[in-house]
């Protein structure tokens, strides 16, 4: 089915960034912070990760308006122990908080060989790939973790206790390769369920359970007290718990059920925790040699004999790179519901809504 038949329209990424930045500045976010946050959101759309893209802008704006996100936070280093850093986010936008966190992580790793940075009192920070790629593009093997609100049941449970708690690893490579694994520890990110509900669609079997613990394909079964299932059963549940310990407890922030919900807890800050680890490849092996061997490994993986019906073998990051190449040239597709929501946001803030690309030709 075509995008037009689905009600989707394509928008120029630069225009989306301008719009998101203007919307954030309209609620008192400083221009540089607004630009950074807008670029982070639209970068997710460019890479095809629409659940973490500009669809998050309305809730960001709402939480800023309610004072649940600090528009001008005092983000600062509160502990610096050479190879370990702790950042206090002051309830600021996660992108603003993580900008300082990644700058410190990269600088310390370059000087000392590696750095672990913990971040407390933050909020949603977009995709973890956005941050990990900053490190890998600087020649550092980079890990990024974040916790979040409790929406995932532990293996065998029927109550929300864990979050989607993603694991991201970005590996230094030479273009056009960009090896980055960014995966939730749950069967699916919550945004996919929200998208299915907004479009009146069912969801695949095995994504969620309802509040009674029964499998369901109805998105409302999740929204009415259900839970997302962990990835790979007990293995994903265990990995999710470890990510929460690393990003939340070790960073000094909230953990599991104590992390505020971005959409439903509209009376308190989130206190999200993040963690970053960067390792200077040159301390172990010449960077050029490392990149060459990674390239050979990726080429070998893609050349493996394929199973019947499989057209292509992808390495982590390939699909996102291909999506970005397409969307930079042809625009980012937005759904009918999202276009409506962004239009309402634009009207309420008195900010011009960008036009779809096809109306500009």
Model confidence pLDDT, tens digit, residues 51-94: 999 999 999 999 999 999 999 999 999 999 999 999 999 999 99
**What residues have CB less than 8 Å from 241, skipping those under 6 apart?**
154, 162
The DSSP bridge pattern shows strands 84-88 and 114-122 to be: parallel
E strands, 75-191, are: 76-80, 84-88, 114-122, 140-146, 167-171, 179-183
How far apart, in whole angstroms, are the C-alpha atoms of residue 276 and residue 48?
23
pLDDT at 1: 43
Question: Which pair of tokens denotes residue 187?
Answer: 């069967």
The residues pairing with 10 across neighbouring beta strands, listed in sequence order, are 333
Which pLDDT belongs to residue 79?
A: 98
Residues 6+ apart with CB under 8 A from 10: 3, 330, 331, 332, 333, 334, 356, 357, 358
From 334, 305, 325, 300, select the one nearest 315 (Cα to Cα).
Answer: 300
Domain spans of the chain?
9-186+230-287+333-359
Structure confidence at residue 199 (pLDDT): 76
Residue 131 pLDDT = 98
User: Between vectors from CA 138 to CA 94 and to CA 120, what angle results, nearest 5°?
Assistant: 25
Say if CB 35 and CB 29 are below 8 A apart.
no
Residue whose C-alpha is closest to residue 131's, from 104, 154, 161: 104
Identify the pLDDT of residue 29.
Answer: 98
CB 45 within 8 A of CB 11: no
Instruction: Look at phi and psi of residue 92 and say left if phi exceeds 0, alpha if psi is from -120 to 50, else beta.
Output: beta
Looking at residue 245, its pLDDT comes to 98
For residue 117, say if its preceding peptide bond is cis, omega within 30 degrees of 0: no
Cβ neighbors of 268 (< 8 A, separation 6 or more) are 68, 260
Whether the CB-CB separation of 190 and 164 falls below 8 Å is answered with: yes
- Rounded Cα–Cα distance for residues 272 and 269 (Å): 9
**What is the reported pLDDT for 359?**
64
Task: Determine the pLDDT at residue 358.
Answer: 73
Which parts of the chain register pLDDT below 70? 1-6, 359-361
Q: Which string of DSSP letters, residue by residue, matches 286-310?
A: -HHHHHHHHHHHHHHHHTSPPPTT-
115 forms beta bridges with 278
The fold of the 9-186+230-287+333-359 domain, in CATH, is: Ribosomal Protein S8; Chain: A, domain 1 (3.30.1370)
Residue 5's pLDDT is: 45
The CA distances from residue 186 to 167, 273, 293, 359, in Å, are 11, 18, 31, 39
């Amino acid at each position: 089915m075509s995008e037009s038949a689905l009600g989707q329209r394509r928008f120029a990424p630069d225009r989306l960034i301008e719009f998101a930045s203007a919307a954030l500045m309209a609620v008192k976010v400083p221009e540089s912070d607004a630009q950074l946050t807008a670029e982070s959101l639209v970068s997710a759309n460019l890479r095809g990760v629409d659940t973490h893209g500009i669809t998050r802008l309305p809730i960001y704006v709402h939480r800023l308006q309610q004072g649940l996100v600090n528009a001008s936070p005092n983000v600062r280093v509160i502990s610096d122990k050479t190879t370990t850093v702790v950042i206090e986010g002051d309830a600021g936008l996660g992108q603003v908080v993580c900008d300082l966190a990644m700058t410190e992580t990269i600088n310390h790793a370059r000087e000392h060989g590696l750095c672990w940075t913990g971040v407390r009192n933050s909020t949603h920070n977009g995709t973890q790939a956005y941050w990990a790629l900053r490190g890998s593009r600087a020649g550092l093997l980079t890990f990024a973790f974040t916790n979040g609100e409790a929406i995932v049941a532990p293996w065998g449970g029927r109550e929300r206790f864990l979050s989607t708690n993603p694991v991201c690893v970005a590996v230094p490579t030479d273009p056009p390769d960009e090896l980055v694994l960014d995966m939730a520890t749950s069967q699916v990110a919550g945004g996919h369920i929200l998208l299915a509900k907004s479009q009146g669609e069912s969801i695949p079997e095995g994504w969620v359970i309802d509040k009674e613990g029964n499998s369901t394909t109805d998105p409302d079964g999740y929204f009415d007290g259900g839970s997302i299932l962990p990835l790979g059963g007990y293995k994903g549940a265990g990995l999710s718990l470890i990510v929460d310990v690393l990003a939340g407890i070790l960073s000094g922030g909230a953990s599991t059920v104590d992390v505020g919900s971005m959409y439903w807890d509209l009376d308190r800050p989130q206190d999200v925790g993040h963690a970053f680890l960067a390792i200077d490849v040159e301390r172990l092996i010449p960077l050029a040699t490392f990149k060459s061997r990674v390239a050979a490994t990726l080429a070998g993986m893609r050349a493996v004999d394929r199973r019947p019906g499989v057209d292509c073998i992808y390495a982590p990051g390939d699909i996102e790179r291909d999506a970005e190449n397409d969307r930079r040239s042809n625009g980012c597709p937005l759904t009918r519901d999202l276009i409506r929501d962004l239009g309402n946001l634009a009207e309420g803030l008195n900010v011009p809504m960008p036009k779809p690309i096809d109306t500009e030709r």
